[in-house]
C-alpha cells in the first residue's frame, strides 16, 4: 500500500514538473524529524500544584497587556470553568477532578504543542508559520490575512485570534519564548518561574529519556504514556501524568500521523489533474466537433443527392 | 430659451410648482417603487450600518465567532454555498462548448452570469470575514504558502473569477456594440471553457479538502478522506439544479426577455437537465454511502447527529434524485423544478453541516450566528440580485442579440 502510494506521488510529481506547475505543493514546509536537537518542554502533571504563576510569567513576557499582580493568580475560582488559550493568555492551567474524595485534583497546563510537523504551518496560505530550527513553531503577523484556517487545522485548538481588533487582528499563541531561546537567554518564562519544577526545558531527545526514566522509576505514580512522543507525528511539548490523558482533557483522537499528510494527497493530485483534465476535455471537444462536422457534411451531401431515390439515411 | 423664461419668472414658477420633477420624470421615479425595490432598499439600509460596524469595530462586534469555532456563517454560507451554487457556469459551458450539446445554448449565458456574480460576491463575503481583507493579494504575490489547500482555493477562485468575466465578455461587447472585440472574446470560448472546468474541478474539490486536516473536529459522519470528491460531485449537482431554478425564476421575473422562447423547447431542456441531475445525484449518493462505509459509522446512526445525517442523505439527496428520475421519465417539468429546489436546499444543508453544524459538534459553547452576520449575508445576496437584474435588463443574457450569430 505504502509503496503504491509513493509511486503514485512520484508519478504526480513528474506530471507537475512537466507542466512547470508548483510541484513544491507536494512538499511539506518542514524537514522531517530533524528533531532530536530541538528545544522542547516536559510538563510533569503529577507535580503541578495549580499556582498559575506560569500564566503570570507568560503574560509578563509575551502578553499584549500587563499581567497584573501575581497574587491575583492564586484565586482558585477560575478553576470552576474550563478555560482555553486566548489572545491574551497564551497558556492556561485547568483543574481536572477530583472525581473521588480520596483523590487529588490534577492541574493541566496547556499551550501550543510545537508539533514536529505542524498542521498550522501546512494550512497557512501565506506561510506565516514556520517550524524554526530551534524547535518552536513561530508565527509571523506581518503576512497574516486573518483567514483563521490555522485554528481549524490545529488538532490541539491552540491558536487564538484577537477578534476585537478591527485593524490589527492576529493569531496569538505560545512561541516557547522564541526570542529568549534565540539569544540563548535560558529557559522560557513559564519553566523559569515554576516553583515546583513541573516544567523542564531541554532538548527533545533528552526530555524523552528523562520522561522514560521517571516513569520507570515510579510506575505507580505515572501512566506509561508520554503524550507528545508520537501524537500528531510528535510534538516538542511533552507531558507525563498520573492519569490517562483522555481523562485530563487531552484530545484522544489526534492519532500518530503528522497532520500535513492529511492534505498531501489532495495537493499532489493537483498537477496530475492539471495535465489529464484539459487533455480529456479537449478530446471530448474534438470528438463532438468532428461528429458535428461529419453530420453537417452528411447533411450537405444528402441535400445535394436528395433527389436520388434510396438516399435517405 | 425656456430656461431664460424660467429665470425671469422665478417666483411664478415656484408658485406653480414647476420646479418639481416633470410628470414623466415623477412617473419614472414612481416606477422604481416596486415590492422588490422597497424590500431591497430596506435590506441595504440595515446592511450599510452593519458593514460600517464590521470594519470600524471589528469581527468581535459583529460576529459570534470564538477561538473554538473560527468559521461561521460568512464562510459556511457566503463562501462554501456561494461557490457550490455558482457551479452552473462551468457545467453549462462544458455541456455546450465541449460536449457539443448545442441545444442547451440558451442556458449558458444566464449560468455564466450567475456564476460570475456568485464568485464575485463570494469574494465580497470573504472580505467581511478575513481579519485583514486589505491583504487579500498576499497569498498570490507577496507570501505564497504553497502547502495549503486554502492556497489552491485562493488561486483557483481568483483565476476562475477572471475566466468567468472573460466568458461573459461577448454579452458585454454585444451590448456596447463592439463587434471586433466581441469576435476576439468569442474566439477565446473553447480555451476559456477548458480552463474554467479545470479550475472548477480543482477548487470545488479543494473546498471540501479544507476540512481534511480537521478529522477530530468534524463529526465522523461528515468527515471523510473523500470530502474533495464529495464536494465536487455535489457542486455539479448544485450547478445543474441552480440552472433550472434560475431559469424558472428568470422566466417569471423577466417575462419580456423570453417572449420568443419556444416553451416546448425550454421544457425539453429542463427535462434533459433533470435526467442529468438524477445521474449526478445518484453518483453523489453512492459516493456518500462509500464514504460512510469507509468510516465504519454504523453505531453513530442512532444518535441525534445520525438522524440529522439521514435527513440530509435521504431527504435531500436520494429524494430529489428519485424525483428527477421520475420527472425525466414521465416528462413532468414541474417535478424537475421541485427536485431542483430540493437539491439546492440539500447542497446548502450539506455545506452548513460540514462547516458549522457538525463542526466542533462537541464544543462546550455552540456557535450561533449573530443577527448582524445574517444581515450581511442577506445584504450580499440582495446586492447580487440587484446586479443580476441590472445586467439582464441591459445585456443580451436571456435572449440572443439578433445582430449577432449565437456563440456555440
Tally of structural domains, chain B:
1
Cα–Cα separations (whole angstroms), residue A28 to A32, A40, A124, B174, B380: 9, 21, 12, 48, 37
Q: Which residues of B, range 205-224, sit inside 8 Å of A by Cβ?
A: 205-206, 209-217
3 state SS for chain A: CHHHHHHHHHHHHHHHHHHCCCHHHHCCCCCCCCHHHCEEEEEECCCCCCCCHHHHHHHHHHCCCCCCCHHHHHCHHHHHCCCCCCCCCCCEEEEECCCCCCCCCEEEEECCCCECCCHHHHHCCCCCEEECCCCCEEECHHHCCCCCHHHHHCCCCCCEECCCCCCCCCEECCCCCHHHHHHCCCCCHHHHHCCCCCEEEEEHHHHHHHHHHHHHHCCCCCCCCCECCCHHHCECEEEECCCCHHHHCCCCCCCCCCCCHHHHHHHHHHHHHHHHHHHHHHHHHHHHHHHHHHHHHHHHHHHHHCCCCCCCC
Residue range A238-250, pLDDT digits in tens: 999 999 999 999 9
Q: Is B8 domain-assigned?
A: no
Q: In A, which residues are within 8 Å of B99 by CB distance?
A: 284-285, 288
Disruptive mutation site among A16, A145, A171 for chain B (greatest number of B CBs within 10 Å): A145
Q: Do B145 and A125 make contact, defined as CB atoms within 8 angstroms? A: yes
A33 touches chain B (CB under 8 A): no
B1 touches chain A (CB under 8 A): no
Q: Which DSSP letter does residue B256 get?
A: G
Tell me the mean pLDDT in the region A136-159: 95
Confidence (pLDDT) at B80: 96
For chain B, list residues with pLDDT below 70: 1-23, 259-260, 407-408
Rounded to the nearest integer, the mean pLDDT of chain B is 89
Nearest in space to B270 (alpha carbons), one of B250, B247, B236: B247
Q: Do A263 and B65 make contact, defined as CB atoms within 8 angstroms? A: no
Q: In B, which residues are within 8 Å of A147 by CB distance?
A: 129-131, 150
Residue of A nearest to B134 (CA): A145
The whole-angstrom separation of Cα B239 and Cα B343 is: 10
B4 touches chain A (CB under 8 A): no
Nearest to A163 among B65, B133, B197 (CB): B65
Confidence (pLDDT) at B5: 43
Instruction: Find how far residue A83's CA is from the centre of its chain.
Output: 20
Confidence (pLDDT) at A302: 63
A293 touches chain B (CB under 8 A): no
Residue B163 domain boundaries:
36-392
Where is pLDDT greater, at A22 or B233?
Answer: B233
Whether the predicted pLDDT of A301 surpasses 70: no
The whole-angstrom separation of Cα B224 and Cα B210 is: 12
Report the complex ipTM: 0.87
The whole-angstrom separation of Cα B190 and Cα A286 is: 11
Confidence (pLDDT) at A311: 40
The whole-angstrom separation of Cα A275 and Cα A12 is: 10
Q: Do A161 and B131 make contact, defined as CB atoms within 8 angstroms? A: yes
Q: What is the count of residue pairs from A and B with beta carbons less than 8 Å apart?
A: 183
Residue of A nearest to B355 (CA): A152
Tell me how close the Cα of A187 comes to any Cα of chain B, in angstroms: 28
Residue range A243-289, pLDDT digits in tens: 999 999 999 889 999 999 999 989 988 989 999 989 999 998 888 88
Tell me how close the Cα of A23 comes to any Cα of chain B, in angstroms: 9
In chain A, where the domains are located: 1-28+261-302, 29-259
Cα–Cα separations (whole angstroms), residue B64 to A290, B59, B124, B219, B373: 57, 8, 19, 21, 8
The whole-angstrom separation of Cα B166 and Cα B171 is: 10
Q: Which CATH number belongs to the domain containing residue B367 in this structure? A: 1.20.1630.10
Q: What are the φ and ψ backbone dihedral angles of B88, each rounded to 5 degrees?
A: -55, -30
Rounded to the nearest integer, the mean pLDDT of chain A is 84
The whole-angstrom separation of Cα B327 and Cα B271 is: 7
B196 touches chain A (CB under 8 A): no
Q: Is B398 domain-assigned?
A: no
The whole-angstrom separation of Cα A284 and Cα A291 is: 11
Q: Is B240 helix (H, G, I), strand (E, B) or coil?
A: helix
Residue range B233-248, pLDDT digits in tens: 999 999 999 999 998 8
Residue range A61-101, pLDDT digits in tens: 987 788 888 888 888 888 988 899 999 999 999 999 887 77
Q: In A, which residues are within 8 Å of B61 by CB distance?
A: 164, 166
Whether the predicted pLDDT of A144 surpasses 70: yes
Whether the predicted pLDDT of A20 surpasses 80: no
CB atoms within 10 A of CB B199: 23
Nearest to A281 among B98, B130, B216 (CB): B98
What pLDDT band is residue A306 in, cutting at 50, 70 and 90?
A: very low
Q: Do A119 and B152 make contact, defined as CB atoms within 8 angstroms? A: no
Confidence (pLDDT) at B404: 79
Q: Do A263 and B205 make contact, defined as CB atoms within 8 angstroms? A: no
Tell me how close the Cα of A119 comes to any Cα of chain B, in angstroms: 7
Residue range A44-55, pLDDT digits in tens: 999 999 999 999
Q: How would CATH label the architecture of A29-259?
A: 2-Layer Sandwich (3.30)
B70 touches chain A (CB under 8 A): yes
Nearest to A25 among B70, B146, B194 (CB): B146
Q: Which DSSP letter does residue B226 get?
A: T
Tell me how close the Cα of B221 comes to any Cα of chain A, in angstroms: 15
Amino acid at each position: 500500500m505504502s509503496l503504491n502510494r509513493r509511486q503514485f506521488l512520484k508519478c504526480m510529481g513528474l506530471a507537475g514538473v512537466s507542466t512547470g506547475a508548483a510541484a513544491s505543493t507536494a512538499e511539506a514546509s518542514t524537514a522531517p524529524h530533524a528533531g532530536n536537537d530541538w528545544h522542547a518542554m516536559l510538563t510533569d502533571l503529577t507535580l503541578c500544584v495549580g499556582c498559575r504563576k506560569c500564566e503570570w510569567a507568560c503574560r509578563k513576557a509575551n502578553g499584549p497587556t500587563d499581567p497584573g499582580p501575581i497574587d491575583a493568580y492564586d484565586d482558585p475560582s477560575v478553576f470552576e470553568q474550563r478555560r482555553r488559550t486566548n489572545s491574551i493568555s497564551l497558556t492556561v492551567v485547568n483543574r481536572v477532578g477530583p472525581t473521588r474524595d480520596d483523590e487529588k485534583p490534577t492541574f493541566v497546563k496547556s499551550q501550543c504543542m510545537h508539533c514536529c510537523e505542524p498542521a498550522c504551518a501546512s494550512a497557512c496560505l501565506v506561510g506565516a508559520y514556520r517550524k524554526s530550527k530551534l524547535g518552536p513553531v513561530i508565527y509571523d503577523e506581518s503576512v497574516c490575512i486573518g483567514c483563521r484556517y490555522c485554528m481549524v487545522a490545529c488538532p490541539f485548538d491552540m491558536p487564538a485570534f484577537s477578534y476585537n481588533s478591527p485593524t490589527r487582528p492576529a493569531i496569538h499563541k505560545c512561541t516557547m519564548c522564541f526570542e529568549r531561546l534565540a539569544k540563548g537567554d535560558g529557559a522560557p518564562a513559564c519553566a523559569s518561574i515554576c516553583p515546583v519544577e513541573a516544567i523542564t526545558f531541554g532538548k527533545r531527545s533528552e526530555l524523552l529519556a528523562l520522561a522514560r526514566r521517571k516513569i520507570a522509576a515510579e510506575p505507580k505514580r505515572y501512566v506509561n504514556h508520554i503524550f507528545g512522543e508520537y501524537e500528531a507525528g510528535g510534538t516538542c511539548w511533552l507531558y507525563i501524568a498520573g492519569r490517562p490523558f483522555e481523562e485530563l482533557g487531552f484530545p484522544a483522537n489526534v492519532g500518530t500521523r503528522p497532520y500535513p499528510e492529511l492534505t498531501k494527497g489532495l495537493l499532489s493530485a493537483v498537477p496530475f489533474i492539471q495535465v489529464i483534465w484539459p487533455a480529456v476535455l479537449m478530446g471530448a471537444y474534438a470528438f463532438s466537433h468532428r461528429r458535428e462536422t461529419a453530420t453537417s457534411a452528411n447533411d450537405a451531401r444528402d441535400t445535394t443527392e436528395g433527389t436520388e431515390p434510396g438516399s435517405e439515411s | 430659451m425656456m430656461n431664460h423664461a424660467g429665470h425671469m419668472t422665478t417666483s411664478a414658477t415656484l408658485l406653480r410648482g414647476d420646479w418639481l420633477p416633470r410628470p414623466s420624470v415623477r412617473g419614472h421615479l414612481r416606477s422604481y417603487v416596486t415590492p422588490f425595490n422597497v424590500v431591497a432598499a430596506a435590506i441595504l439600509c440595515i446592511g450599510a450600518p452593519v458593514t460600517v460596524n464590521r470594519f470600524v469595530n471589528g469581527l468581535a462586534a459583529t460576529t459570534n465567532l470564538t477561538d473554538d469555532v473560527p468559521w461561521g456563517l460568512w464562510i459556511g454560507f457566503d463562501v462554501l454555498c456561494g461557490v457550490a451554487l455558482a457551479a452552473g457556469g462551468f457545467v453549462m459551458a462544458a455541456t455546450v462548448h465541449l460536449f457539443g450539446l448545442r441545444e442547451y445554448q440558451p442556458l449558458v449565458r444566464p449560468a455564466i452570469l450567475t456564476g460570475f456574480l456568485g464568485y464575485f460576491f463570494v469574494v465580497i463575503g470573504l472580505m467581511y470575514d478575513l481579519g485583514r481583507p486589505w491583504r487579500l493579494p498576499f497569498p498570490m504575490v507577496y507570501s505564497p504558502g504553497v502547502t495549503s489547500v486554502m492556497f489552491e482555493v485562493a488561486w483557483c477562485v481568483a483565476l476562475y473569477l477572471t475566466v468567468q468575466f472573460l466568458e461573459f465578455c461577448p454579452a458585454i461587447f454585444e451590448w456596447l456594440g463592439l463587434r471586433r472585440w466581441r469576435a476576439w472574446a468569442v474566439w477565446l470560448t473553447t480555451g476559456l471553457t477548458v480552463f474554467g472546468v479545470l479550475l472548477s474541478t480543482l477548487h470545488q474539490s479543494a473546498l471540501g479538502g479544507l476540512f481534511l486536516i480537521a478529522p477530530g473536529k468534524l463529526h465522523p459522519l461528515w468527515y471523510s478522506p473523500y470530502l474533495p470528491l464529495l464536494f465536487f460531485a455535489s457542486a455539479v449537482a448544485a450547478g445543474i439544479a441552480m440552472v433550472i431554478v434560475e431559469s424558472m425564476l428568470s422566466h417569471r421575473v423577466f417575462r419580456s426577455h423570453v417572449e420568443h422562447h419556444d416553451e416546448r423547447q425550454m421544457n425539453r431542456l429542463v427535462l434533459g437537465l433533470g435526467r442529468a441531475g438524477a445521474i449526478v445525484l445518484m453518483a453523489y449518493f453512492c459516493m456518500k454511502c462509500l464514504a460512510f462505509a469507509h468510516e465504519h459509522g454504523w453505531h453513530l446512526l442512532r444518535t441525534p447527529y445520525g438522524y440529522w445525517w439521514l435527513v440530509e442523505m435521504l431527504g435531500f439527496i436520494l429524494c430529489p434524485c428519485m424525483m428527477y428520475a421520475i420527472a425525466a421519465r414521465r416528462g413532468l417539468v414541474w417535478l424537475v423544478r421541485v427536485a431542483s429546489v430540493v437539491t439546492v436546499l440539500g447542497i446548502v444543508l450539506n455545506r452548513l453541516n460540514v462547516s458549522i453544524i457538525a463542526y466542533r459538534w462537541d464544543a462546550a459553547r455552540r456557535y450561533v450566528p449573530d443577527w448582524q452576520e445574517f444581515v450581511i449575508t442577506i445584504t450580499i445576496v440582495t446586492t447580487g440580485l440587484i446586479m443580476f437584474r441590472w445586467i439582464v435588463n441591459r445585456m443580451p443574457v436571456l435572449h440572443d442579440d439578433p445582430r449577432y450569430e449565437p456563440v456555440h
